Structure 1
Amino acid sequence: MNKTQSIALSTAIVAGLTLASTSSIAASKKVTMEKCYGVAAAGQNDCAAGPGTSCAGTSKTDDQKNAWLYIPEGTCEKLTGGSLEAM
């Protein structure tokens, strides 16, 4: 193996190790989800949206106040119309 091949191999190994460690760090950070009411598009809610609905995809209108989506914790109340409780 010549010097150029050796450098290329070393670079590939370092890049692979960097990607592997980055992936394991990202995987170890668990994202906590919360129910956010009033932000789902019609038919796009995650589950039961009050009377007349049964589960996912059954909300009747956009931003239905009793329909929710699971979103990352801490983002719901930043969304226009978002609430942690059904209205």
Structure 2
Amino acid sequence: MQHSNSLLALTVASMITAGTAAAHAAEAPEGKEKCTGIVKAGMNDCGTSQHACSGMAKTDNDPEEWIYLPKGTCNKITDGKVKS
């Protein structure tokens, strides 16, 4: 029984750590912005509601997929939208 409790505690701790890392990953680096709608398939920078990893975009120009660009660049690109 003690082994099961230890395993459960480790699992919960791992989930909390992963959640914290995901929250930090959601913030754009300084001088960058998230730009949606312009990403080529397989070239996205991070996850969406459909997947959790970079490089998993299945189609070009998916409005949910995004990449980091220097601030002020996204609005200069056709169909580019800054994700807040």
Q: What are the Cα deviations for residues 5-50 of structure 1, in whole angstroms up to 9, with x where unaligned?
A: xxxxxxxxxxxxxxxxxxxxxxxxxx70100001110010000132
- Given the two structures, how large is their TM-score scaled by the length of structure 1? 0.58
Misfit runs of 4+, over 6 Å: none
Which residue number corresponds to residue 49 of structure 2?
Answer: 50
Q: Which of 73, 76, 79 in structure 2 is aligned with 1:78?
A: 76
Q: Secondary structure at the match of 1:48?
A: coil
1:61 aligns with 2:59: yes
Cα-Cα RMSD? 1.7
Q: Which runs of 5+ in 2 are unaligned?
A: 1-29
Q: Which runs of 5+ in 1 are unaligned?
A: 1-30
